[in-house]
Amino acid sequence: MQLFSKRQVKIVLILLLVVLTVYMIHLNNQVKAEFSNPLKRLNNVTLIEYSIDEYPKDLINMLLLVEDQSFYNHHGIDVKEIARVFYGYLFEDKGLRGASTITQQLIKNSLLSREKTLSRKAEEALMAILLEASFEKDLILERYMNTVYLAQKGDMAFHGFASGSLFYFDKNVEDLNLEEMATLVALLKGPAFYNPGNFPDRLNKRVNMIMSMHKKYKRIIN
């Protein structure tokens, strides 16, 4: 006995397609509204805007080496990296680790909550693809570097590498040495967890790893 007629199946599929289309349009409108406009200024956030050309090339290379080596090659999500993570989890008894691209991180930081659910992760991936379809890579990287969270002092948060540079080193970001650049990149993983005042050994270990990567691997940008 046939549960559904062909006509009923077609109607359901059409309705699903309509719902998906409306949902994607909604997400796309959110992405364009956020990234077509200047950065929002908040009273409790210190943020200094730099253009991507003003950031030191060594800093950009360290960031890409650690956070997203395929940044200039993927379209918002890194399918190969996701496959590697799941392969390691399923067949090599490795723990699940993050496979988020810089684009995905920017979407999460700008538009989404930090809840760890599959639905939120799926929405993040879709919005990352939409972001890359509408905006150039350099703009995405520039926005990420200007807004990523790096420090907290009381009620004041410090976002972006230029702001973080002044907070930790009392220097403009273009005046940092390589170790100081590596320190800022290291802190991205968790400014509290790698707090230089509370956990200097933990931070130094990560800084040394980043310095080693920077010395060993080919530059992503020149």
Q: Which amino acid is at 143?
A: R
Q: Can you give the residue ranges of every domain in the chain? A: 6-69+77-216
State the pLDDT at residue 192: 96
Give first-to-last CA distance, the chain, whole Å.
66
State pLDDT tens for residues 47-56: 999 999 999 9
Instruction: Tell me the average pLDDT of the chain.
Output: 91
Residue 117 and residue 138 in contact, taking contact as beta carbons nearer than 8 Å: no
pLDDT score of 201 more than 90: yes
pLDDT score of 109 more than 90: yes
Q: What is the value of pTM for the model shown?
A: 0.89
- The span from the CA of 176 to the CA of 59, in Å, is 9
State the pLDDT at residue 205: 97
State the pLDDT at residue 105: 95
- Phi, psi at 55, each rounded to 5°: -75, 140
Q: Choose which CATH entry (3.40.50.880, 3.40.50.300, 3.65.10.10, 1.10.3810.10) describes domain 6-69+77-216.
A: 1.10.3810.10
- The span from the CA of 193 to the CA of 208, in Å, is 16
How many residues are listed for the chain in this entry? 222
Residue that wins the pLDDT comparison between 90 and 48: 48
State pLDDT tens for residues 155-175: 999 999 999 999 999 999 999
- Phi, psi at 105, each rounded to 5°: -60, -40
Residue that wins the pLDDT comparison between 13 and 140: 140
